[in-house]
Amino acid sequence: MNLKIYFPHLYHYLFNHESIKGLSVFEKEVEIIKYIEDNKKTISTFINENFKFDTDSLIQYVKEKTNIIISPIILSNIESIDLNIVKDLFNKKFNKNNLELIFNSIKTNPYLRKEFLYNFNIISSGYITFYINKLFEDKNSYTIYLIKKESNIFDSSKIIKNYIKILLLLRILIIKFYLEKEIKLVPQNIENISQLVSKEIEFLDNNTVKIITQSLFKYEHLRNMSPIATLISIFSNRTKIPNIKNNRTKGFIGYDESWFSIKQSNSKDYDPRIIKELLEIARKNKW
């Protein structure tokens, strides 16, 4: 395994430090922000952008692919949510101006607060990347659009965050399907409803639908949310502690490039875009 040491201090502290390795995603988030401030580092590339950039373009692109109106709201454990509130949210037209207001209103809503946005360990495990590649494979893909917009220079935060947002939007699509069909979503009928969704939505295979549906019933109880929690949730699930003979090292000291890459469908190779972008972030921010 080819290990690189670009983020050793930050990632060691965040994911595997003895004092915080058992903390929740939210608690880790608090700790990393403290660490960044104390060490005069920056992760503003991820925090400041949030979901503010090109939201309309992304939504429009996925709408064209799916033919279904969707919105960037992710809900977990549907049984615990007031469906009347949810249906109203899905009827709203989202744009850059009102997205942040909706984000904040959801955070304060007791029905939705715990269920908002931040559990991707299941759907980011690799099985779903076949669909992501389907989105990216044609010349008019959103990724190509971003690359051209940036004068053919990859922009780190945009590509990684749009990869994440496609995962978000995919969950929205399936949840919206359940709501529109008035299907009772419970863990016991995941197999049956997954088959139904995959039959009606052409580009979604049964395995992908099943994984996403299962993920709706697995989430952390968080009292607060922010964009960095998304990244922590994904990256912490992929870090590994190398076991060096006669020199056991506590903490994260590197990563395999494939962890942050998109796997090509029907191939053992990984698309290098994501890792290249993350390395560029590291260099710019001197991590």
pLDDT score, position 155: 37
Say if strands 270-271 and 262-263 run parallel, antiparallel, or are unpaired.
Answer: antiparallel
pLDDT score, position 199: 80
User: What residue has token string 């009102």?
Assistant: 98
Number of helices (H) and strands (E), helices first, in the chain? 13, 2
Backbone angles phi, psi at 263, to 5 degrees: -80, 130
pLDDT score, position 173: 63
User: CA angle, corner 264, sides to 258 and 267, nearest 5?
Assistant: 95
Number of domains in the chain: 1
Residue 3: inside a domain: no
Residue 59: inside a domain: yes
Residue 1: inside a domain: no
Measured distance CA(68)–CA(77) in Å, rounded: 22
pLDDT tens sequence for the chain (287 residues): 222 222 333 344 444 455 555 554 445 545 555 555 555 444 333 333 333 343 344 444 444 443 333 333 333 333 333 334 434 444 444 333 444 444 455 445 544 433 333 333 333 333 333 333 333 344 444 444 444 443 333 333 333 444 444 455 556 566 667 666 777 666 677 788 788 877 876 656 676 677 666 655 543 322 222 333 333 333 333 333 333 344 333 332 333 333 333 333 344 444 444 444 444 444 444 43
Q: Which domain holds residue 99?
A: 8-285
Q: What spatial distance separates the first Cα and last Cα of the chain, rounded to whole Å?
A: 22
User: What residue has token string 């952390």?
Assistant: 220
Residue 2: inside a domain: no
Residue 240: inside a domain: yes
Measured distance CA(212)–CA(228) in Å, rounded: 21
Residue 181: inside a domain: yes
pLDDT score, position 139: 43
pTM over 0.85: no
